[in-house]
Amino acid sequence: MTEVTETGHLMCRPFVTAEDRSATRYPNLVELYKYYPCGEPAMCDHAGIEPELLYAVLRNGERLELQELLGFARLYGCSMGVLKCQKVIMLDRTRWKHRKMIADVDSLYIRLKCMAREGNEEAEGYLKLAEWAQQEFLRSAHINRVSYCHYLGTKEKIQQYISFLMPLPQRRGLSSMKGGVS
């Protein structure tokens, strides 16, 4: 389902409005959909559903079956309790654990920045992409309005950028021996 915005741009993801968000049974799934760096095909594959059902879940309050919820939980690496919670789970900067989670995202961004400073040209491109996500995340954290799902999505996005830049391990083959096979 591709839609055209008012400015004429194509939008692959259906826009989920505040009204739609209040109608859904899974507000944290809506947050993950918004911030996590995977698209509808991956979501539908992991949950074993069609895109139409995904949109109905996000917009109209359609229920998910247990296996479908398990598929989403595996994809996002979170518990089913997060997905089933009727309220968006928010981080609180006054709690030490939540401050540490926010700092973890910031340290990942700094690691990416160091890779760019060391002369990795590819890292500079990823740094520009990560900068926007990290600034949006920190802005939300500063006013104490960052959700747990926003944290999961931003962290995963920056971790993916770093993993794209890591050198591939050297492949191991058979060593040659004098005199034939032993």
Does residue 170 sit within a domain? no
Does residue 89 sit within a domain? no
Does residue 171 sit within a domain? no
Q: Say what the pLDDT of residue 16 is.
A: 62
* Residue 147: closest CA among 21, 27, 20: 27
Does residue 60 sit within a domain? yes
Per-position b or e across 122-141, b if 16+ CB within 10 A of its CB = ebeebbeebeebbeebeebb
Does residue 176 sit within a domain? no
One domain for residues 50 and 74:
yes
Q: Is pTM, for the whole model, over 0.85?
A: no
Write the CATH number for 10. 1.10.260
Domain residues for the domain of 68 are 3-84
Q: Say what the pLDDT of residue 181 is.
A: 59
pLDDT above 60 for 2 = no
**Whole-angstrom distance, CA of residue 75 vs CA of residue 52:** 19
One domain for residues 65 and 111:
no
One domain for residues 133 and 159:
yes
Helix (H, G, I), strand (E, B) or coil at 85: coil
* pLDDT tens digit sequence for 106-126: 999 999 999 999 988 899 999
Q: Which one-letter amino acid corresponds to residue 149?
A: C
Q: Say what the pLDDT of residue 170 is.
A: 86
Angle at 17 between CA 9 and CA 145, to 5 degrees: 110
pLDDT above 80 for 47 = yes
Q: Say what the pLDDT of residue 172 is.
A: 84
Q: Say what the pLDDT of residue 174 is.
A: 82
* pLDDT tens digit sequence for 127-161: 999 999 999 999 999 999 999 999 999 999 999 99
One domain for residues 75 and 107:
no
